[in-house]
């Protein structure tokens, strides 16, 4: 018998342009009357600026975090704190059907998989700001969230000898980047879900864990995202038997072309609009995947019973 019953289905979501139209930083720009186009243009020019200092390799997926801090230091985002980011998350508007779709899908999975106690967990893995995601309407329905984090209280040299730690004030101005998720390290989050380290920290991520002992097999994961930046995750899950769908903003031809390109390249098994209302194409696809995974779980259980339980005498 394995370490876990492996009766969990994990639905893993990108955030920007998957759950919400556009990018989550928009409420931040609006709060401080910052032109978002100008901000992102500056972010796009940062690699060239760094190159003039002799820096050849730049983390393009996460360099925007440094620029947010530059705006803080310059007084353009005065007193920006993790608490403020959390509160700004409340202003995020979601695609149709959300957030109600999240608990409804989990309930449907529990009903369909009642015989073996199947459960469904939603996760967000995003290059965006974790504090804003945790403050959004979707947060109560998440089993976990990976995103970029800032720290407001950055310990200095000798802090270990400084006696008792000072109280942490969530409203203090952010000072530094604490955690980064980029397009490649998104795959790390999937391995944490797979091995169960997100629920059981005593299991080290890099420890050898047999496939039958992993909490959520990759084949029981479903990943939804919008673009080429998610190719590392798409590639991992496709190779390991997971299910992937590229979503696009309804009615947007360029977004559809991008998603459809991923389908043509065999990066994903399906394409659908970011519309999660009952009966929509994406709603139907997700329900079908959940039902198929439950059927696989039940077949595996029944086969194990057949193979491991002998017949009683006289039969």
- Taking only the tens place, the pLDDT of each residue in 16-40 is 999 999 999 999 999 999 999 999 9
What pLDDT sits at residue 149?
A: 97
Tokens of 224: 């939804």
* Lowest-pLDDT range of 152-161, 169-178, 185-194, 263-272: 152-161
Q: Where are the alpha helices (DSSP H) in 212-309?
A: 231-239, 253-264, 281-308
Whether the CB-CB separation of 82 and 131 falls below 8 Å is answered with yes
Q: What is the pTM of this model?
A: 0.94
pLDDT-derived band at 157 (thresholds 50, 70, 90) equals confident
Sheet hosting strand 270-273, strand order edge to edge = 176-179, 144-151, 119-129, 8-13, 221-225, 243-248, 270-273
Mean pLDDT of 174-193: 95
- Taking only the tens place, the pLDDT of each residue in 110-121 is 999 999 999 999
Q: Which domains does the chain have, with CATH numbers?
A: 8-308 (3.40.50.1000)
Tokens of 308: 């491991």
Show Cβ contacts of residue 72 under 8 Å, excluding neighbours closer than 6 positions.
Answer: 78, 80, 173, 174
Tokens of 215: 């909490």
| Strand-pair category, 8-13 with 221-225 | parallel
What pLDDT sits at residue 164?
A: 58
Mean pLDDT of 67-86: 98
What pLDDT sits at residue 1?
A: 65
Q: Is the peptide bond before 99 cis (omega within 30 degrees of 0)?
A: yes
What pLDDT sits at residue 163?
A: 61
Mean pLDDT of 96-114: 98
Among 16, 19, 7, 11, CA closest to 285:
11
pLDDT mean across residues, the chain? 94
What pLDDT sits at residue 228?
A: 80
**pLDDT of 314 above 70:** no
What pLDDT sits at residue 223?
A: 98
- Taking only the tens place, the pLDDT of each residue in 131-155 is 999 999 999 999 999 999 999 988 8
**Angle 222-249-130 from CA coordinates, rounded to 5°:** 60
Whether the CB-CB separation of 34 and 145 falls below 8 Å is answered with no
CA dist 218 and 213 (Å) reads 12
What pLDDT sits at residue 301?
A: 86
**pLDDT of 273 above 90:** yes
* Lowest-pLDDT range of 150-154, 163-167, 178-182, 303-307: 163-167
**pLDDT of 218 above 90:** yes
Whether the CB-CB separation of 269 and 94 falls below 8 Å is answered with no
Show Cβ contacts of residue 123 under 8 Å, excluding neighbours closer than 6 positions.
Answer: 10, 11, 12, 13, 142, 143, 144, 145, 146, 189, 193
């Amino acid at each position: 018998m394995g370490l876990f019953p492996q009766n969990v289905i994990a639905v893993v979501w990108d955030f920007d342009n998957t759950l919400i139209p556009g990018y989550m930083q928009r409420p931040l720009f609006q709060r401080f009357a910052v032109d978002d186009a100008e901000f992102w243009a500056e972010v796009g020019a940062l690699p060239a600026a760094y190159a003039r200092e002799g820096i050849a390799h730049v983390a393009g997926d996460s360099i925007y975090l440094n620029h947010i801090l530059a705006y803080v230091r310059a007084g353009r985002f005065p007193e920006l704190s993790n608490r403020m980011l959390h509160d700004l998350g409340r202003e995020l508007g979601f695609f149709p059907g959300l957030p109600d779709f999240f608990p409804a899908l989990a309930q449907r999975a529990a009903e369909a998989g009642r015989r073996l106690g199947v459960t469904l967990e939603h996760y967000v893995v995003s290059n965006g700001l974790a504090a804003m995601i945790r403050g959004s309407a979707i947060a109560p329905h998440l089993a976990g969230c990976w995103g970029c984090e800032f720290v407001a209280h950055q310990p200095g040299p000798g802090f270990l000898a400084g006696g008792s730690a000072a109280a942490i004030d969530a409203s203090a101005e952010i000072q530094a980047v604490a955690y980064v998720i980029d397009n490649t390290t998104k795959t790390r989050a999937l391995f944490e879900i797979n091995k169960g380290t997100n629920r059981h920290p005593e299991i080290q991520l890099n420890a050898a864990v047999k496939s039958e002992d992993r909490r959520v097999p990759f084949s029981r994961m479903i990943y939804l995202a919008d673009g080429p930046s998610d190719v590392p995750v798409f590639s991992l899950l496709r190779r390991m038997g997971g299910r992937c769908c590229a979503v696009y903003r309804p009615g947007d031809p360029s977004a559809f072309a991008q998603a459809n390109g991923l389908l043509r390249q065999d990066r994903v098994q399906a394409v659908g609009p970011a519309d999660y209302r009952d009966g929509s194409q994406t709603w139907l696809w997700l329900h079908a995947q959940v039902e198929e995974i439950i059927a696989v779980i039940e077949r595996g259980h029944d086969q194990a019973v057949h193979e491991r339980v002998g017949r009683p005498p006289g039969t």
